[in-house]
């Protein structure tokens, strides 16, 4: 009984299918045929080699390059408008946190200043996906300037928040340590 299982554990034989998996010669004897009788999937078009002329191919390549350049400029504008989308949220958050000196409102205001500075410093890294295309580098300068402008608006919200909390020294009383004491011409005594 070579192809079946035995209940005796000492003389256990393997099933026939396991022997077929191990046998390399059996895999070589199997005849395989490749059949292309399946239909093509919907909207699949077979490429006709040699039917295109060189002129139409270069025209299509130039159209594709223009499309890619347009897409790169659109992507640059999307990147530059991301900070503008967060301006209303940051204004509401700044208003709702109040003007009292609390750790959360101070940290929020400081992050409104520090995050735009970090973003402006890393502007090349932010625009790296679109700066790799050398044909549109001049067109990307305007979105980069808009990005810096929007980051500046976020910083202005943070500075306004710090000013409303009284943490920016902008009054004369904040600089009293620099004032000289007043000198009087005469002294008067009560007794």
The pLDDT score that the predictor gives to residue 156 is 96
Chain centre distance of CA 10: 64
The pLDDT score that the predictor gives to residue 142 is 95
Task: Return the residue matching tokens 């709702």.
Answer: 96
Q: By the 8 A CB rule, do 74 and 129 touch?
A: no
Provide the whole-model pTM.
0.62
The pLDDT score that the predictor gives to residue 21 is 75
Residue 86 in 3-state DSSP? helix
DSSP letter for 5, please.
-
Task: Return the residue matching tokens 């078009």.
Answer: 45
Residue 12 in 3-state DSSP? coil
Cα gap 60→44, rounded to integer Å: 19
Residues 6 or more apart whose Cβ sits within 8 Å of residue 114: none
The pLDDT score that the predictor gives to residue 59 is 63
At 141-177, the pLDDT tens digits run 999 999 999 999 999 999 999 999 999 998 888 888 8
Q: By the 8 A CB rule, do 118 and 147 touch?
A: no
- Domain extents for the chain? 61-170
At 32-78, the pLDDT tens digits run 666 677 777 888 877 665 555 555 556 666 667 778 888 999 999 99
Burial 36-74 (b: 16+ CB within 10 A, else e): eeeeeeeeeeeeeeeeeeeeeeeeeeeeeeeeeeeebbe
Tell whether the model's pLDDT for residue 91 goes beyond 90.
Answer: yes
The pLDDT score that the predictor gives to residue 99 is 87
In a 10 Å sphere around its CB, with 0-12 CB exposed, 13-18 middle and 19+ buried, how is residue 144 labelled? buried
The pLDDT score that the predictor gives to residue 41 is 81
What is the DSSP annotation of 30-60?
A: --------SPPPTT-----TT-S-HHHHHHH
């Amino acid at each position: 009984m070579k192809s079946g299982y035995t209940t005796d554990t000492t003389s256990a034989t393997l099933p026939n299918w396991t022997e077929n998996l191990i046998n390399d010669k059996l895999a070589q004897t199997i005849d395989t045929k490749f059949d292309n009788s399946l239909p093509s999937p919907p909207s699949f078009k077979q490429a006709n080699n040699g039917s295109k002329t060189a002129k139409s191919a270069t025209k299509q390549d130039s159209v594709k390059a223009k499309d890619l350049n347009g897409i790169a400029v659109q992507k640059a504008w999307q990147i530059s408008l991301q900070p503008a989308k967060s301006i209303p949220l940051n204004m509401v958050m700044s208003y709702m946190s109040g003007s009292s000196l609390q750790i959360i409102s101070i940290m929020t205001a400081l992050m409104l200043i520090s995050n735009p500075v970090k973003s402006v410093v890393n502007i090349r890294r932010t625009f790296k996906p679109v700066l790799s295309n050398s044909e549109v580098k001049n067109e990307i300068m305007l979105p980069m300037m808009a990005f810096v402008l929007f980051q500046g608006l976020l910083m202005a919200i943070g500075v306004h928040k710090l000013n409303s909390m009284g943490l920016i020294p902008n009054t004369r009383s904040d600089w009293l340590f620099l004032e000289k004491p007043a000198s009087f011409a005469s002294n008067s005594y009560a007794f």
